């Protein structure tokens, strides 16, 4: 079997297992085994028998819906790489849009005030948003917090050397030392309703920490906590941005607009034109 035929066969195996991106994942696993990139596979040498054995084992695990990122051990997020694995939520491409908004907001704040912007990332998970902020706004003062001990360990690895102040704790009680001084708060909270268990993709339901996924019967419990804590952390006129489920395009921003503390509450769509994240400015 030629390398091209093997790639085609691997993609067919993953497609039959219901993997959403079988061609991409088959090539990504092969590139990982060969120590090269997906684009370089067209000129890659044939795998050794040992490499083929490793590849077949990884394909079987992916066909069982183990996340691709867990199998290769790393994922990209905007301009940074993150190590990921069991015990931490795998960052999604959609969250890069929220991070991009936060970068723009931080840069604008720094230009307006003439000082380093103060940024806080709640429910940081792997540290994805915090690391992106530190990378793209190097003069910013970036803080992050994660409750789950296992996820916090992954965040420690990802944020080492970044200058981010990482803490372990509950977002509802974190950063008392920063009350009223923060310019931008970001959060990718748990937002899946408990009633939606069966609809969650196996990669997330069976491998992501449930603490990072589910948030009460309507999926809004953590967002309600975020609304109160962001209001306490932000300076007057400061901004908050948070991700939500695509079915929460009205209910998630409604948590903020209904409290009376926020102005310019706006929902944003992702690249597939689905409601994805909300931003708001502290009015008082």
**Which residue has tokens 């992954």?**
154
Q: Is 49 helix (H, G, I), strand (E, B) or coil?
A: helix
191 is in an annotated binding site: yes
End-to-end CA distance of the chain: 67
Question: 184 is written with which tokens?
Answer: 């931008």
Quote the strand ranges of 40-170, DSSP E. Answer: 74-77, 80-83, 118-122, 141-146, 165-168
CB atoms within 10 A of CB 262: 24
Nearest-5° Cα angle at 76, 74 to 79: 140
190 is in an annotated binding site: yes
Nearest-5° Cα angle at 95, 264 to 102: 45
55 is in an annotated binding site: no
Question: 244 is written with which tokens?
Answer: 């939500």
158 is in an annotated binding site: no
Comparing CA positions, the residue from 72, 178, 168, 89 lying closest to residue 129 is 89
Residues making up the annotated binding site for S-adenosyl-L-methionine are 146, 188
Residues making up the annotated binding site are 146, 188-191
Residues making up the annotated binding site for substrate are 188-191
């Amino acid at each position: 079997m030629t390398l091209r035929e093997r790639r085609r066969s691997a993609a067919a195996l993953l497609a039959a297992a219901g993997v959403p991106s079988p061609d991409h994942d088959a090539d990504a696993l092969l590139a990982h085994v060969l120590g090269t990139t997906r684009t370089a596979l067209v000129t890659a040498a044939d795998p050794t028998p040992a490499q083929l054995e490793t590849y077949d084992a990884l394909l079987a695990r992916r066909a069982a819906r183990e996340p691709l990122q867990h199998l290769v051990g790393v994922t990209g997020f905007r301009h940074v790489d993150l190590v990921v694995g069991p015990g931490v939520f795998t960052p999604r491409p959609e969250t890069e849009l929220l991070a991009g908004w936060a970068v723009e907001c931080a840069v604008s704040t720094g230009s307006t005030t003439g000082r380093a912007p103060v940024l806080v990332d709640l429910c940081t998970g792997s540290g994805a948003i915090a690391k992106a902020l530190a990378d793209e706004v190097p003069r910013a003062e970036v803080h992050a917090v994660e409750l789950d001990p296992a996820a916090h360990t992954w965040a420690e690895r990802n944020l080492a050397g970044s200058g981010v102040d990482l803490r372990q704790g509950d977002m509802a009680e974190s950063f008392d030392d920063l009350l009223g001084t923060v310019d931008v708060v970001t959060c990718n909270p748990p937002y899946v309703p408990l009633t939606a268990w069966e609809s969650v993709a196996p990669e997330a339901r069976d491998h992501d920490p449930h603490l990072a996924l589910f948030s009460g019967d309507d999926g809004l419990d953590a967002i309600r906590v975020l609304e109160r804590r962001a209001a306490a952390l932000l300076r007057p006129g400061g901004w908050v941005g948070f991700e939500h489920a695509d079915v929460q395009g009205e209910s998630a921003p409604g948590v903020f607009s209904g409290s009376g503390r926020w102005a310019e509450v706006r929902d944003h769509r992702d690249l597939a034109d689905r409601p994805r994240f909300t931003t708001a400015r502290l009015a008082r």
